[in-house]
Structure 1
Amino acid sequence: MSEPIAVVGGGRMGAGIAHVFAAAGHPVTVVEAGEAARQGARDRIASGLARAAERGALGGADADTVLSRVVVVGAASEIDPATVLVVEAVPEAVELKRSVIAAVEAAVGPDCVVASNTSSLSINGLAAAAAVPARIVGMHFFNPVPASSLVEVVTADATAPGVVRRVVGWVAELGKSEVVVRDSPGFATSRLGVLLGLEAIRMLEEGVADAASIDRAMELGYRHPMGPLRSTDLVGLDVRLAIAEHLRETLGERFTPPRLLRDKVARGELGRKSGRGFYDWS
């Protein structure tokens, strides 16, 4: 049997991470607090696997077989001590992530790798609060996880080289490719992606073109698979705003969020998850 994996957080990203590891043959434990949240995580994973099976993306396996490898529990203390990798995928709040890592470290063995799916928070900051900093690493997956081909592997100063090698191996096992980057604000992908997204929002704000035209310019002119405004809707306008604020504080005023982005978040127009962002998803 493949080695056990755990994912803390069963939202869209956590469910997607659980999906791909289960599809690769691993038994997966998902940690989510509260019965309603646990049921939501189960439903998201089941739905994603069903869609993947319809597309023939499970390598001939049926969705129920893959789903049988996943168990959803209520606390990190229920993670199998033999687990070799835990990926935390909780909201982007430093203290929350540190508390999750502490709970995970209390539950797993000394050789277990503990990875954060953060898209912008400092891996050095998370590692500094860990009992074993050498095993802390960033594994930044992209949404939607099953369809994305990249995992950004982020190394802290204390991350052991062997941990990086193991993570790169798991990424390959998932059929994805990695880029390994040193911990820095926004890493490589968020730093570039957010800057492009913010400029696209400014263009929309200034009336340069409508959202569909701005996106189509990048899709057809630069062969981006998805334009920056549609991508922002998919990520979540609130998430993009929070990352932009963090990057403004650490890298400077070029990451200042446009007023249009702030206004949309204040109105609850968060993108696909709320039904409206730069596009109508209803």
Structure 2
Amino acid sequence: MTAHDQTDVTDSAPADLPEVVGVLGGGRMGAGIAHAFLVRGPRVVVVENDEAAAEAARARVVTSVGRAAERGLLTSTVDEALGRLNVTTAADDLAGAGLVVEAVPEDTDLKLEVLRRAERVAPGAVLATNTSSLSVSGIAAGLKAPERFIGLHFFNPVPASDLVEVVVGEQTGDDLVEQARGWVTALGKTAITVQDSPGFASSRLGVAIALEAMRMVQEGVASAQDIDTAMTLGYRHPVGPLRTTDIVGLDVRLAIAEHLTRELGPRFEPPQVLRDKVAAGELGRKTGRGFYDW
């Protein structure tokens, strides 16, 4: 995961970005994806499941755009940028979207539920999933138009991350792959193309490194901080694997590791220290404690 400041905003959507982009789910990732498109010009519709969640999602995007403005990264005003944002509980507001990205929790049934709803109200839209580990082809099999479905795996924090994995399912159209890569470029980010495979490229490698780092902590080889320092100074990783795990969430890492174990075998078996911390509610930054105290 690399980071840089979000580049300048445009006042209207570039020709190679949809005029309207939908985001299903306004949590940390969904709000970040909304920010990434919003500051590039499209109108953005974020759909949440209730009013409280919608208000929280709006607050996340407002805060994120405000921080970008404070750093001098907006060429429009905050009000102009946020004027293109609609946070709603009504899926019908997605009508007319050219792209809808789901960013709900890593549950195939939940993802299919929200994507099918989007497919009904925005039949002309390209649908995308932000999953970091689930099968794009498997999700596509439950949709009416699997050739118009693709993986767009953004990285946390989305506004500052350079990378997006474009994940190609078995039925994803070739033209859509190129279109998606163009969208990523228009966001000021770099696309890599990955065939649908458990963990794709980034999660598979990132989780493998993180799990080994956890085993080293468990075995008393070194402290979490010293292991991370080895990777940041010795290998030029911008953030060490254990601090990254805290940022992502230990529960999220555990779920991905269990999925990869089922798909790829015991080399991804989660170490006991990870299971223990999740059981104790030590999920990382979001709970105040993981491998670090926050």
Is TM (by shorter chain) over 0.5? yes
1:28 corresponds to: 44
Q: Which residue of 81, 84, 98 maps to 2:112?
A: 98
The residue type equivalent to 1:45 in the other structure is: V
Aligned partner of 2:23 in structure 1 is 7
1:189 aligns with 2:205: no
Q: CA deviation at 1:142?
A: 0.2
How far has the Cα of 1:61 moved from its partner?
Answer: 2.5
Shift of 1:235: 0.4
- Larger RCO of the pair (alpha carbons < 8 Å, separation 6+): 2
* TM superposition outliers: structure 1 runs of 4+ over 3 Å: none
Q: Which amino acid aligns with 1:106?
A: R
Residue matched to 1:63:
78
Specify the alignment match of 2:143 in structure 1: 130
2:122 matches 1:108: yes
Residues 1:45 and 2:58 aligned together: no
Distance 1:67 1:272 in 2: 27
What secondary structure does 1:64 align onto? helix
Kindly indicate whether residue 186 of structure 2 is the aligned counterpart of residue 173 of structure 1. Answer: yes
Distance 1:50 1:101 in 2: 30
Shift of 1:165: 1.3
Answering whether residue 82 of structure 2 is matched by residue 75 of structure 1, we say no
Match of 2:232 among 219, 222, 225: 219
Q: Which residue of 2 aligns with 1:264?
A: 277
Percent identity over the alignment is: 58
TM-score (norm 1): 0.97
CA distance in 1, matches of 2:107, 2:168: 19
Between the aligned partners of 1:45 and 1:78, the Cα distance in structure 2 is 18
**2:101 aligned counterpart, secondary structure:** strand
Which secondary structure state, in structure 1, belongs to the residue aligned with residue 151 of structure 2? Answer: strand
Q: Which amino acid in the other structure matches residue 33 of structure 2?
A: I
Equivalent-residue separation in structure 1 for 2:133 and 2:97 (angstroms): 26
Stretch of structure 1 that moved more, 62-71 or 20-29: 62-71
The aligned counterpart of 2:265 is 252
State the aligned residue count.
278
* Secondary structure at the counterpart of residue 146 of structure 1: helix
Alpha-carbon distance between aligned partners in 2 of 1:63 and 1:188, rounded to the nearest angstrom: 36
Residue aligned with 2:160, SS: coil
Separation of aligned partners in 1, 2:142 and 2:42: 29
1:52 is displaced (CA, Å) by: 1.2
Query: What does residue 85 of structure 1 align with?
Result: 99
Partner of 2:177: 164
Aligned partner of residue 72 in structure 1, secondary structure: strand
Q: CA deviation at 1:67?
A: 1.4
Letter matched to residue 86 of structure 1: V
Q: Deviations over 1:199-251 (max 9, x none)?
A: 00110111111111100100010000000000000100000000000000000
Q: RMSD over aligned Cα, in angstroms?
A: 0.9
* TM superposition shift of 1:75: 3.0
SS of equivalent residue, structure 2 residue 120: helix
CA distance in 1, matches of 2:73, 2:228: 28
Q: What residue in structure 2 maps to residue 17 of structure 1?
A: 33
Rounded to whole Å, the distance in 2 between the matches of 1:161 and 1:50 is 38
- Mean Cα displacement is larger for which, 246-255 or 164-173? 164-173
Structure 2, unpaired ranges of 5+: 1-11, 14-18
Q: CA deviation at 1:163?
A: 1.1
Distance across 2 between alignment mates of 1:197 and 1:214: 10
The residue type paired with residue 215 of structure 1 is: D
Q: Which runs of 5+ in 1 are unaligned?
A: none
Task: Report the equivalent of 1:203.
Answer: 216
1:158-216 per-residue CA deviation (whole Å, 9 max, x = no partner) reads 00111111111110011000100100000000000000000001101111111111001
